[in-house]
């Protein structure tokens, strides 16, 4: 049930509190080696192997070898790791090796689901963020290179980088709603910590449900404006 005197504005403020709290957990600049079990690639040129994707060296790179449209990098994540940001570190020395269109898939090895397709800006020659703000752990993240610039055949990357956190870092509990933490949230001050905790659990469940169906609700850009207006 809705707590007595609770309004939509209270929910908004509680949502901001939860967001701010989660952001404070993410101080690590690069979690690539800490949160990734292993990396697989579709193919590689001699001396341009998958290990170069995480060696943090600017003069090494991974380069695929094979027909266009069949190159991929697969990240096997450690149990409980949730990705906040995923970057590709491009190698701009040769334009035809720079990916132009990338798709990201996630899930279990036998059931990968499409998460996002990214069209990389033609002016990008450094780091490009291709995935952000995941809410749940995915055992596998697969980056598929659909197209390269200038009709290139192979992909070349200096590396990948992720910022991530452990899912147990964000487990809700009543202790997180201490009065000292609520001074910047006046609508929450004075509300019982157990009430805030139960409401926070409800918000978190709603967010997870919304995330799971959002890709089916938002129309594609080629859909008619009438469809979008009806949805809105």
Hey, what domains does the chain have and what are their CATH numbers?
A: 8-27+172-213 (no CATH), 32-166 (2.60.120.260)
Encode pLDDT of 36-84 as tens digits. 999 999 999 988 999 999 998 888 999 999 888 899 999 999 988 889 8
Can you tell me the distance from the alpha carbon of 217 to that of 29, in angstroms, rounded to the nearest whole number? 34
* Contact criterion met (CB below 8 Å) for 190 and 171: no
Using left for φ > 0, alpha for ψ between -120 and 50, and beta otherwise, residue 42 falls in alpha
CA distance 50 to 64: 9
Q: What is the percent of the chain with per-residue pLDDT over 70, rounded to a whole number?
A: 86
Using DSSP bridges, classify how beta strands 62-63 and 127-132 pair: parallel, antiparallel or unpaired. unpaired
What would the two tokens of residue 102 be? Answer: 């990338």
Model confidence pTM above 0.85: no
- CB of 102 within 8 A of CB of 120? yes
Take residue 230 and report the two structure tokens written for it. Answer: 């009806």
pLDDT in tens, 106-116: 999 999 999 99
Percent of the chain whose predicted confidence (pLDDT) is above 90: 45
* CA-wise closest residue to 170 among 201, 149, 195, 146: 201
Residue 75 token pair: 């990240």
| Residue 180 C-beta-side C-alpha neighbours within 13 Å | 1
């Amino acid at each position: 049930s809705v707590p007595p005197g609770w309004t939509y504005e209270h929910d908004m403020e509680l949502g901001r509190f939860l967001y701010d709290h989660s952001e404070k957990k993410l101080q690590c600049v690069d979690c690539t080696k800490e949160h990734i079990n292993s990396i697989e690639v579709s193919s590689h040129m001699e001396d341009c192997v998958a290990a170069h994707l995480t060696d943090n060296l600017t003069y090494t790179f991974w380069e695929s070898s094979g027909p266009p449209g069949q190159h991929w990098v697969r990240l096997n994540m450690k149990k409980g790791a949730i990705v906040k940001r995923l970057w590709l570190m491009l190698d701009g020395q040769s334009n035809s090796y720079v990916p132009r269109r990338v798709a990201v898939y996630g899930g279990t090895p036998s059931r990968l689901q499409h998460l996002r397709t990214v069209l990389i800006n033609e002016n990008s020659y450094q780091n490009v963020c291709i995935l952000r703000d995941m809410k749940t752990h995915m055992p596998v993240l697969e980056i598929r290179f659909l197209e390269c610039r200038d009709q290139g055949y192979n992909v070349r990357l200096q590396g990948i980088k992720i910022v991530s956190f452990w899912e147990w870092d964000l487990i809700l509990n009543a202790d997180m709603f201490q009065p000292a933490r609520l001074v910047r949230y006046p609508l929450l001050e004075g509300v019982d910590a157990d009430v805030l905790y139960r409401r926070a659990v409800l918000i978190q469940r709603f967010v997870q449900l919304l995330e799971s169906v959002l890709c089916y609700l938002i129309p594609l850009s080629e859909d008619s404006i009438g469809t979008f207006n009806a949805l809105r």
